[in-house]
Each structure stands twice: as structure tokens, then as C-alpha cells.
Structure 1
Amino acid sequence: MWSTLLNRLQRFSILSLDRRPRLTSMIAQEVAKGAAVVLFYADIVKMTAIENRYGDTAAKRVLHIFERTLPEVCRDVFEIKGKVLAIQRLWGDDFAVYVSFSSGFQEEECRLMSISFQERMEMQVNRQVRFVHREDLRVHIGYARFPGVDVVKEMYTSVKHAVHMAKYGVTSEKYTHVTQFHRLLQDENIDMHYMPIVSLRDAEPLGWEALARGPQNTPFYSPAALFSYAEETDMVFRLEHICRKRALEQLRYLKPNQKLFINIDPRAIDDPYLLRGDVLGLLERYRLNPRNIVLEITERHAITNYAVFRKIIEAYRKKGYLVAVDDAGAGYSSLESITEIYPDYIKLDMSLIRNIDVDSIKQALLETFVQFAEKVKCKIIAEGIETERELETLMELGVPYGQGYYLGRPARGMAQVSGRAMNVIRTAQETRTAREPIPLGVTPDMTDILSKTVCVDKHAKVRRVHHIFEQNQRIESVVVLEDGKPIGLVMRFQLYKILGGPYGIPLYYERPVSHIMNTNPLTAKKDDKIDDVAKRAMARDAYHLYDVVIITGEEEEYVGIITVQSLLDKLASIKLELATSANPLTGLPGNLQIERVLDHRLRRNEAQTVIYCDLDRFKWFNDRYGFEVGDQIIVRTAALLKEGVKRFGTHHDFIGHIGGDDFIVITTPECAEPIVAFLIEQFGSYFADIYEKRRVSDDSILSMSMAGVSLLPGRFGSVEEIAQQAAWVKRLAKERPGTVFVSDQDRECAEANDSGRDWTRAEQRGKMGAV
């Protein structure tokens, strides 16, 4: 008997940890031959309870019996279809059996063999253990297959998987699900859906949040079930790692100004794939950079050590990644996380958004969040928007971004914003635009403040760029070109920050500048308006807020740069000039700005309509009732014109005050007709109280003569010619009673034009003021 047992033990050696290299080699050889190597884990249920109840001697006897029985049962069960490589005692009563099967081996056979092993082992042990009177001993069994990619690493992970399976019971449904879950992780069978995050100002997508889904028609399809199994099996890091890899496969579809939001559990944040993997090479391939990726730190689990957590976050920031705090308001310590992490985005949990349209407490809280975010230079994203009223309320409160089923559901590709949400946002945008002040004039284009800087090719070494900055302390930026077109930007302070970090010089100094440049700098056309470019510049994130703006020509070629300081200085001087030239009574632009606007519209060579407005009998009112009434009439006329343009015009329309009772409106031909109709209809009502107080007779009331001049491309060569035409058409309008409009495109007006005119150019100049 003892000789037989010794032979078995020699064949199935019970290995100690110090012989693991030999076992690793055996497994690797089998995998190399194409075999399937499976680890079966077995232990005695409630071994500690046996020791406590029956004593240490009895427990050792049970363990001895289990250990002695194990080789025989392994041979009877596993060698029917495979070959036992080794039996390893892990610790205490825990054993691992390594079995090699042929390549066509099915996983279901593992489950059936596990059931057979459990039954036989329990029967053999209970037959020999006589002192247990109340209940039979039970045996746990679980298994895990070696993928064969990294056997050394899999020695640990396979035991871990098998242990998790063993605790559920080999015949239970949970055991089957855990088996499927580990196979899912092994095959990396995860799908990613993408949910749009939308600007609530213009309906443009800020980016997409990547959301994990398991295989369809399985218990793991929903994210809740998927991550619940990851929690139970302690595989959160592994699952999140797979999700991130899958999410980043969609980088190719991102535009340079869009972002991909990726969820990160605080317990699994130190992912080498993001910090030390090939993600940067992937970004470079698609002409993106780490700032296109936002790492969402979920608040569903508490951050236990902020000191360590901050160091990891800083490592991500040095790489260029942006950071968001997810589920703010629903986690363990929302405010603490925000103050410790300094996020670029704060994502408000849907519990704060639900029914916010009828909850004044939530509205007040959200207003506080918005004000706080503006002060600390981060942006709010409202999650879980599901109704139109919630969306409208969030826009009214000034929330810049949102996501939710009403805006767009998750989809396999980059999901688009829903049509109904887009209509709501754009309608609000139009209303907001209509309330904005009427433009006061024309601002200069980029060429007025253009400057030059040094340019390098994208293959230039970082060392060369560093030398450029060192040799000329006045240069703050270097533009990177490819075939004469700008593709990147390097700012002095950003380069020094990179090189000054750990291993910065040895890591980057001899590499092409394309590895460190900002691949998405702000660019503008040389004929863009300064105020528009300034708004775009100041809307950038804090890290790039003071980067220069690159100016390009019609063919996207490099022209020059402008600094944020020069932009702001020029805007300040423009506002001062506008304030100086504006009419003090109405606040509308005066003659200087009117002339500039007309000249600018002529040079743009676009169809426009000029409406010259002149009050009839104003002098009589002014002389009879005094300057106070006269000023009141002038102010109300200006208000009437503003109301007409606000309702029926565009934000590009212009209103000017020539002087006295003369005004000018410049609009598009499409808007001219409804604006004029409104002015004719509403004119009398604007002065009804003035007539009533002074008992003015019907034949003495005010009216307005309006002359329309069409600025068709090529029709006029100067502002003076427009003035001549307007003065002549106005004379025809004054010949008609009441508030009227006469256009130089009318047939009757055209016939009068053909018959000739008898006034001089000086007269028109006098009537048009300095226009």
C-alpha cells in the first residue's frame, strides 16, 4: 500500500512555492504544444470551524487524509481526458491541480469534471473521517484556464479566478455566471457605447462619454451587472483596463476640438496603459493629444488616501489629460473631491437634475455650482437630462453642457444629438441673440494687430525649439508647419514645464517637436473679426488661455500670430472709440461709425438694404413743446427701430443715428420688408401718450418717411454715391402723406429717377450729415 502511494506521489508531485519556476516551465511547454492547461482549485469547507470544534490534532488528520486522497481522485477524474502535470499545495487546506488537455477541449467538460471531482473527493474523505458526527465534510472546487500569454502572471490570476468560482458551488447558476464572466474578461468581449455631451448654447457636441456594455443576451449586458460581477470577483481594475482600451479605439472619429470621456474608478486609477502605454502614439497618429481625453473620476467609491491620489492625478495632468469629477452630489465626499482634485469638469449627478424645473431648492443649488465653476475656471456638465423642461431650466440657469436621454442615447458609434433637443437649444440661442445689443459698428480684422514668430518643421527636434527660446527671450511661441500650413504650436512656458519634469530632457530632447506640440491650437482667418476671435480665445481651457492665435490665409497657409494681450488691447480701444462717437441721447453709433459700416458693407460686395428714416413735423413739435419733448421723441424713435430689428432682423443688422431726427438701418433684403411693415404699424402707438397729454390734432401728429436703397454688388462705388441715392429717394417719400416707405427698386421711383434730378451734391451732404 505504501509503495503504491509513494509511486502516486512521485508521479503527481505536491509542489511547494520554491518549485514554482519548474511548474511555470511545464505549463509553458504544454501551451507551446497547443494543449489547453487548466488549473483546478480545491479546499475543505469550514476548515477553521473543524479546528475550533475538534482541536488541532483532528484538523491535521483531516488535512492529511485530504492530501493523501487527492492524487488518486485526480487520476481517476482528470486523466480520463487529460494529463495531470502537478498538484500544488498553496496554503493551509488550499490545493491547485494543473491538468493538460488536448486543444479541442471544451470548457463545459471542466464543469462536469469539477462536479465529478467534488463528489468523489467528498465521498472518499468522509469515509475516512470518523469523528465528524453531525455533518459531512464538504469540498470547494473551481477552475481557470491558462490563456498562455504570460504564464508567470497567469499563475496568480488563474488561482484568483478559480478561488472566486469555488465559493459559489459548482452546480449553482452563480458558478456558471462567474465562469462566463472570466471567459468574457479573457476574450476582452466588451462593447462600448458612446453618449453625446452637448453644449447647451449651440447644440454642438463637446464630446462623448464611453459606456461599457457586456455581450447581448447575457447576464452581463447592463453596466450595473457587469461591474457588480467585477466587484464580487475583485476584477474591477482588469475590467476597466479592457473598457479603456475599447473606448480609445474610437479616437480616430474625434475632431481636434472634441473630447472622449472615460470613467475611472478611484481604486483602479493607476493604469499603466494610460500613463506608460502606447496611447500617446495612438493620439499622435490621429493628430490628437491627451487633452482630447477626459478622465472621469467616479464618486461611487470613497477616495481613502488623497495624498497618494493627488500624485497619480498629477501624473495624468503632466501627460496632458483633463480630469472630471463624475456623479458630483451623489458620492461620499463631492466637495472634498473637487477641492482636492481641481477638476476641469464637474459632472452633476442626475439626482440633482431630475425635476429641477419644479424644484426651487435644486435650482438654487445649481446656481451656486455654476457660479463656483466660473470662479475656479472649470465647466459644469449636467447628467441625466430627460425632459424638455429640465433642459430649458438648465439653459436658463447658465449650465454650459449637458447629457441625458433627451439629448441623445448611447450608441455603438458616436451618437448624434437628438433633433428635438437641437431645436430647443437653437430656439433659445436665437432668442438670446435677439436680446443682445445691436452691433455698434465695424471692428478691424486680424491684419491690424498681426505679428510674426519663428516657425519650424514638424520634424525639427525639441532641442532646436529649446535653443530658439534660449537665444531670444522675447519669443514666447514657435509655430510648427507642414508644407507651409500650421499644424501645431509650442509655447515657451509649456515647453519648459515638459523639460523641467522628471526625465523631461532625456525623454523628449532628441525627439521631433510633433511629440510635444499642441496639435489643436486656435487658428483664425486674417479677415476674421477681432471680437469674434477674442470670444473664441477666451473660451479656451485655462491651460491654453493665453496661447497665441495663429492667423492663416485663404489657402490655410501661415500668415502670422496675434497675442491675447493685443486682442484685448484692441477691443478696449474699439469700445472707447465707439463710446466717443456714439450719439449721447440714443447711444446709437454716430456718423463716423455709420460711414465705416457702409464702406465695409460695400467692400464685402453682399446684397444689403439701407433704410434712411426721417421724422416728419419733428421741428414743429420741438419748437412748440420744447427740447424735453423733442428728446423724448428721438429716444422713442430709436427704441422703435431697435424693436423692429430685434424682432425681424439678424444680429448682423446695424442701426445708426445720423443726427437730429435722421436715422439709418442696414439689413438684408429679406429682413427689410418685415422690419418696415412693423415700423409703419407700430409708429403711431409709440407717441400716443404725447399726443393725448397735449391734445394734438390728427393733422399735426408725427410721421416718418423711410427711403430704401438697395446695395447690390457693384452698384455703388462709394459711400457718397449711397448718400446721393438715399437723399433723392427720401424726397420722393416725403411727398407722400403718413408713415411711408419708398424703395429705389420701386417702378414709380425708377421712372422718376430716369427723368432726372435737379439738386446738387452739396445738398445731399447737408441732409445726410457727415455720412
Structure 2
Amino acid sequence: MLSTLIKKFRRFPYFSLDKRQWMKNVIRQEIEKGRNVVMFYVDIVKMTEVEQRYGDTSAKRVLHIFEGILPGVARQAFEIKGKILAIQKLWGDDFAIYVSFGGQVSDEDCRMLSIHFQELAERQLNRQVSFVNREDLRVHIGYATIAGHDIVREMYTSVKHAVHMAKYGITSEKYTHMTQFHKLLAEENVNMHFMPIIHLPDGQALGWEALARGPQNSPFATPATLFSYAEETDTVFRLEHICRKRALEQLRYLNPNEKLFINLDPRAIDDPFLLRGKVQSLLANYGLNPHNIVFEITERHAITNYAVFRKIIEEYRKKGYLIAVDDAGAGYSSLESITEIYPDFIKLDMSLIRNIDVDPIKQALLETFVSFAEKVNCKIIAEGIETERELETLMDVGVVYGQGYYLGKPDKGMAQVSGQAMNFLRYMQEKQRDGAKETIIVAPDMTEILAKTICVEKHVRVRRVHEIFEQNQRIESVVVLEEGRPIGLVMRFSLYQILGGQYGIALYYERPVSHIMNTNPLKASKNDRLDEVAKRAMARDAYHLYDVVIIVGEQNEYLGIVTVQNLLDKMASIKLEMASSANPLTGLPGNVQIERELNGRIKQREAQMVIYCDLDRFKWFNDRYGFEVGDQIIVRTANLLRDASRRFGSGNDFIGHIGGDDFILITAADHVDALVTYLIDSFSSYFTDIYEKCRMGDDVQLSMSMAGVDLGPGMFTSAEAVARRAADVKKWAKSYPGTVFVRDREREEQASVETAGGC
């Protein structure tokens, strides 16, 4: 039988898998001649069923007949346009036919040739094979082009490609789509859209998630169908590799404080393009660092080997990349992934967010996630926010970052938060500010904890910075200057992390420090409030959380640094001081904080006003009706001042309790009129119940004298000077009956005074 078969194949070689090298040379020679080589895969449909129903002997006879007709059918079908190079038996009833074409051969040409071969093969096979009560035998066929870049590899992948095509039938719509999908991969015809991830407290973009899209008006326009075809054809790694390349092309549009979120399937995580490619150089060219990239480990598929997976994740971390766990709460092994990966971000799946405003179970689960994230220094991102109510619930629970169609839809460019969502976020900011029980207390400015570190110019080599750290073990940071102004920062741990990579020293050691520095370090003015700087410092991502803060002067000149440790220590000291100096009755800051506040405000450039408030006839009420009533009056006055500040203040007001019945309120100059008017109009009504409870035929009523002192730039040099001026104006205010407000300039000009009598 073998000799007969060889004779039938006399016109072209017939070979097995051990002749791949020979086939490789044949294909290369054809491609070098400018010809196109296509591999056609064929097999008999349900050959296993034939064997099971009719026995092994009948199955072998069918295969023998098919092998016999194959050369003639191939010649008759394919030599219309091309030349057969070889027929290769792959396994069982599977064969590969390699055909060379002299000119361009299109998909439609290959498809028509395949249909012609299929019709001829099925006609001849069923003419020679017949079974009782069985339908005709069918033949599968598929094809794939061999480009010639890596012939041995393409011989293998082309078989896989063609098998997938053959599976669906050459004339089916699915077959057509499969052909289009492989063409999409070959041409890398994938577009990326970018969905904003928003910092909810201020509406600014933390970054954007890169989302893959196929060609418009094609079956692959949506990510679901695109990746579905990749799953079916076992090309997930190839598709994700293309998506990552396309996403990284947009790095040029990223600011140093923004991030690009890129999906990473666990099965495709070991990507040389990311770990050993030119991504680091690409980042350096755009003035970015690896921490500008966040890889989202998607949970579409479970991670099967965490030991290996952790090692690869650590490679990404050593490069400086950040890691997020995607689809948390959606199933598979969310919690296990979080505990194994230690992510910088946890992205909560939209199934947890949907209708969370009306689902107490989801709210309780979300609270647990938020609490957990705070304890492990990780950030929560809520996905799939689609309604205003969902967003409000998330913010009330404490979620800081979010994305979804309500905040902003995916777009080709780096879209910002939508106008509708921005208006709502502003409303939430006002609501949060109005709901604060205590006014903002300003801590000392940054000069109290200022320190120094070594500075270098931007052209200094990385080698020199490394030497500085080696020679100064107590130095943790080096500031990079340009003409005396800070433009970058290098932390010891980040430098060692970069140089400790596989190619770190070779790639960066002799390059200027500007290639590896953090180009967007946190900077603060010497007059900035310590508590505000502390908030900004702790809001940074985990990679930069413990970077020093650079302090600058009025001309942005370098003054020094403040470490996070010193910042937190000072804040703890201030809180202790506030607790000890606050008035125990009203809870308002006492004289120590008032003096510090005044001195801090004097240094500021904004137009402000100090309002000194003194209750009239308070001693009479206190002596007549006792300390209990007196305490009620003091507490009620403090609440009135808080209420006025919440309603009409600047949002940055300060309220202090000097002692007894004396209070101080500081607000922006343009808020004074509305605030004072409310105090005058509301004062009497705030004490109505006390009057009713205590009135015993007395006509004496409470009132309040308010003295306003302008705190414009350069007007005062100390808190004592402000206090003296306020006391002077207060005497003038007390000369008028009822609740009154007098400005210091009004006293000088003998101008009109606003008054309101008691009721």
C-alpha cells in the first residue's frame, strides 16, 4: 500500500513532521522569488464517529480512500491559480497543503479555492465510500498565509489558525468573521479609547483606563466580541500585546501626576515588551516614570499558580510600575488575589456598585472594603458609576476614586469629568463643608519644621547622585534644581529600585539625573498651612507617599524640605495642643490657637476681617439666673457663630473662644456683609426659649457688640496689634444699643452704624 501511495505523490513531496526544515527551505525559496505561500488545512468531519459506528477497519478504509484522492483533488482545485509545494500529513485525518501563488492572492481568492476543493473532495470521497443509513461524509477546510518572517513558527500558527477557520465551515458567517479577526491581528488594527478615573473630592482626573476597540462597523467593535474571538482562537496574549502597545502610544499626552491604567490578563502577564522592552526609555522621553502606569490584573480568569504569579508581579514592582486588582467582588478569587498581590489600587466591580444607593447589603460590603483599604494603605476605585445617587452613596461611604458613564464615557482622547458630574461634585464639596461641625483650624506654617538636604543641578549624572547617597547614609532625598528652583526629586529608595533592575545601571548610570527624577514632586510654600500640606502629602499614591515635601519661597526658589515623619509628628503635637487649649464648654480653640491663627493670617495676602464679638449684659444674666443659664448662653452664641459661618462664610473661616462671653471670628472680606447681617437678624431668635424660661418681669435682654478689624496685607505685624485695635473698636461698638457691628474704618470716619434692637 505504501509503494502505491508514494507513486501517486510522485509529482510533489509527501512528508511527515520530521521534514519541517526541508519545508522551511522550500517556503523561503518561494517567498524570496516574490511568491505568496498559503497553507490549506483539510480533514474529514466526525471521523471519530465513523470509527465508533462502523469499526476501525471501515475508518481506515475511508482514510485510505481520502489519502488516495487528495493529490488529484488538490491539483485540480489549487493549480488553477497556484503551484502545490507539498502535502503534509499532520495527524490522523488532518492534512496541510502548501500552495505557492505567483501574484497577489486575496482572502476571497483563498475562500473560493477552498470551496472548490471542498466540493471536489466531498464528491469523490462519497462516490467511493458508502454506508447504510448514513449521510454523506463532509470535509473541513481552512487556510492561513505564511508571511515568511519566522517560517517554522508560522507553519505551526498557521495550522492553528486554519483549524479554527475550518471548525465553522468555509461558507458560514462565523468563518468569515474568523478570517477578518486574524487579519485584524496581522494588521494590529486595534484602537484604544480612554475612560477617566476621577478623584471624587475635587473632580480632577487621577488617570485613564485604556479600553480596546476593534474597527467600527465590524463584528469586533466592542471589547466583549473582540476578546471573545481571541479566546476562541487562543490569541489572548497576542491581542493584549497589541492593546498595550497602542495604549502606550498615548503616554505623550499624560501629565507627570496622571496615570495610565492598562489591563493585564493573568495568562499574558509575562510580557517581554513590558519587562524587558523599551518602555522605560519611552517613559523617560516624555518626562514620566513607571509609577505613571498602573497594570490592572483582571479577574476574568482565575490565577492558577500564585507562587509564579507573585514572582512576575515583583518584577513589575521593581521596575516601578503600580498594580491594581480589577473586578474585585465579581467572583473567582478576588480576596485571594488582593492578599497575594498587595495591590496599590482595588477596583470594585460594577456588579457591586449597581443600585448601591438602595441596597444596604452592598453598602455594608463597600464599607468593609473602604476600611480594609485604609488599613493596608491601598486606594479604592469604584467602577460602573451610572447615576447621581450611586455616586452620592459612594462618596458618603468614603470612596475617593471612581469611574463610570455618569462621570465620563470612554473616548479617543483623554476626556475629563462630564459637566453634569462636575456640578454634582461641587455640590457635594459644599455639602461636606457645610456639614463640618468645627471650623478649620490653621496650623503653623512650614518654616517651623523646615530641614535641608543636598541639591544637584539637572545635568548631574545619576552616578553622582548614587555616590551622594552612598557617602551620606542619613540623607534620604536629593532635590534637583534649575537656576535655584526645584524641578525634581530623587528619593534613595526609588533610585536603588531603578538601578537594581536588570538593566538599571547600564541604562541610567551615566545619564543626567533628569531622566530618572520625579518630575512632579509635592511642593509647598513656606506660608502654607501645615495641616493642608499634610492632607496633600497623604493623598499621594503609595509609591510617593513618603517622599519629602519641597518648600519654596515667593519666587519658587528652593528653601528646604519637610519629611513626612516631621509633618505627622508636628500635626500630632498640634492636635494635642488644641485639645488642651480648646475651651471645654464650646469646644472652640482657645487663646493659644487664636494667637497662632492671627499671626498666620497676618502673613497671608488675602483681604480678611477679624470680628471681635462681645455679649452685652451677659454678667447680669449669669448673676441673676445662675451659671447653668450662663453656660447655655455661651454655648448658644458659639452655635450661632458656627451657623453663620456655615451659611455665609468663606469656607476657610476661623472661630475662637477668647474666654467668658468674648469670641473671635475671621472671614474673607467679601463675606463680611452677608455674615454680619445674618448675625444681627438672627441673634434675638437664638435666645427666645431662654427668655421665656427665665423672664420674671425683667426687661433686660441680651445683645452682642461686634467690632470689625480689616486684616489687609501689611496692616499689622503681630496678633497683639490686632487685639489692641479690636478692643478699641469694640468700645465704640458698645456705645450703641442692641446688636451692632462697627468696622474700624467706620469709627474713623464717624460713619453710619448698623443696629438692631432686642425684642
Q: Same fold (TM over 0.5)?
A: yes
- Structure-2 change in CA distance of 1:147 and 1:521 (3 Å): farther
The answer for the alignment partner of 1:765 in structure 2 is none
What does 1:180-329 align with in structure 2 at a 5 Å threshold? 180-329=180-329
Q: Which whole-Å CA distance do the structure 2 matches of 1:401 and 1:239 have between them?
A: 29
Pick which of 116-125 and 169-178 moved more. Answer: 116-125
**1:763 maps to what in 2?**
none
Describe the shift of the 1:721–1:518 C-alpha distance in structure 2 as closer, same or farther (beyond 3 A).
Answer: closer
- Please give the per-residue CA displacement for 1:525-572, whole angstroms capped at 9, x wherever unaligned: 333222222112222333432222233445545433221122122223
SS at match of 1:237: helix
Query: Contact 1:142–1:166 (CA<8 Å) still a contact in 2?
Result: yes
Q: SS of 2:651's equivalent? A: coil
Alpha carbons 2:297, 2:323 under 8 Å: kept? yes
Q: Deviations over 1:322-360 (max 9, x none)?
A: 222222222222222222222222222222222111111
Deviation at 1:180, TM superposition (A): 1.0
Q: Aligned partners of 1:522, 1:721: CA distance in 2, in Å?
A: 35
Task: Point out the more displaced range, 151-160 or 482-491.
Answer: 482-491
CA contact (8 A) 2:607 2:713 kept: yes
The residue aligned with 2:673 is 673
Tell me: CA distance 1:396–1:269, structure 2 relative to 1, closer, same or farther (3 Å). Answer: same
Shift of 1:141: 0.5
Give the unaligned 5+ runs of structure 2.
753-759
Cα contact 2:319–2:497 (8 A) shared by 1: no
The answer to whether the aligner puts 1:613 opposite 2:613 as a matched pair is yes
- Quote the residue 2:629 is aligned against: 629
Q: 1:743 to 1:301 in 2, by over 3 A?
A: same
Q: 1-side partners of 2:620 and 2:291: how far apart?
A: 67
CA distance in 2, matches of 1:15, 1:457: 68
Stretch of structure 1 that moved more, 383-392 or 441-450 = 441-450
- Give, as a single letter, the amino acid of the residue that structure 2 aligns with 1:343: P
Match of 1:124 in 2: 124
Quote the offset at 1:239 in angstroms: 1.4
Which residue number corresponds to residue 707 of structure 1? Answer: 707
AA in 2 matched with 1:262: I
Q: CA deviation at 1:602?
A: 3.5
1:237-260 per-residue CA deviation (whole Å, 9 max, x = no partner) reads 211111111122222222222222
- For 1:657 and 1:56, the matched residues in 2 are separated by 100
CA contact (8 A) 2:210 2:261 kept: yes
1:262 counterpart SS class: strand
**Structure 1 residues 152-551: aligned runs within 5 Å:** 152-436=152-436, 438-439=438-439, 442-458=442-458, 460-481=460-481, 484-497=484-497, 513=513, 516-551=516-551
Q: Does 1:47 align with 2:47?
A: yes
Distance 1:249 1:385 in 2: 28
Partners of 2:600 and 2:507 in 1: how far apart?
A: 52
- Structure 1 range deviating more: 67-76 or 329-338: 67-76
Task: Report percent identity of matched pairs.
Answer: 73
Runs (5+) with no aligned partner, structure 1: 755-771
- How far 1:165 sits from its partner (Å)? 0.1
Instruction: Please say if 1:567 is aligned against 2:567.
Output: yes
**Residue 769 of structure 1 aligns with which residue?**
none
Q: Are the aligned partners of 1:50 and 1:59 in contact in 2 as well (CA < 8 Å)?
A: yes
Name the CA distance, whole Å, in 1 between partners of 2:733 and 2:553.
45
In structure 2, do the counterparts of structure 1 residues 150 and 556 end up closer, same or farther at CA, with 3 Å as the change threshold?
farther
| 1:275–1:315 Cα contact (<8 Å) kept | yes
1:28, distance to aligned residue in structure 2 (A): 3.5
User: 1:126-175: CA deviations, max 9, x gaps?
Assistant: 33346787333321110112344433332222111111001111111111
- Conservation of the 8 A alpha-carbon contact between 2:41 and 2:162: yes
Distance in 2, Cα, partners of 1:575 & 1:5: 94
Residue 179 of structure 1, CA deviation: 0.8
- CA–CA distance in structure 2, aligned partners of residues 637 and 3 of structure 1: 112
CA distance in 2, matches of 1:171, 1:205: 48
Other structure's SS at 1:640 match = helix
Classify 1:285/1:474 alpha carbon distance in 2 versus 1 (closer, same or farther; 3 Å): same
CA displacement at 1:488 relative to structure 2: 4.0
Task: Give 1:183 shift.
Answer: 0.9
Moved more, 705-714 or 667-676: 705-714
SS in 2 for 1:685: helix
SS of equivalent residue, structure 2 residue 304: coil
The residue that corresponds to 1:742 in the other structure is 742
Task: Evaluate the alpha carbon distance shift between residue 590 and residue 53 of structure 1 in structure 2; reply closer, same or farther with a 3 A threshold.
Answer: closer
**Would you say 1:601 and 2:596 are equivalent positions?**
no
TM-score (norm 2): 0.91
**Is contact 2:616–2:703 with CA below 8 Å preserved after alignment?**
yes
Q: SS in structure 1 opposite 2:212? A: strand
C-alpha distance in structure 1 between counterparts of 2:484 and 2:38, whole Å: 60
C-alpha separation in 2, matches of 1:68 and 1:704: 112
Cα distance change of structure 1 residues 554 and 20 upon mapping to structure 2, 3 Å threshold: farther
CA distance in 2, matches of 1:572, 1:130: 92
Contact kept, 8 Å, 2:291 with 2:543, in 1: the verdict is no
Do structure 1's residue 80 and structure 2's residue 83 form an aligned pair? no
SS in 1 for 2:80: coil
Give the superposed CA RMSD.
Answer: 3.0
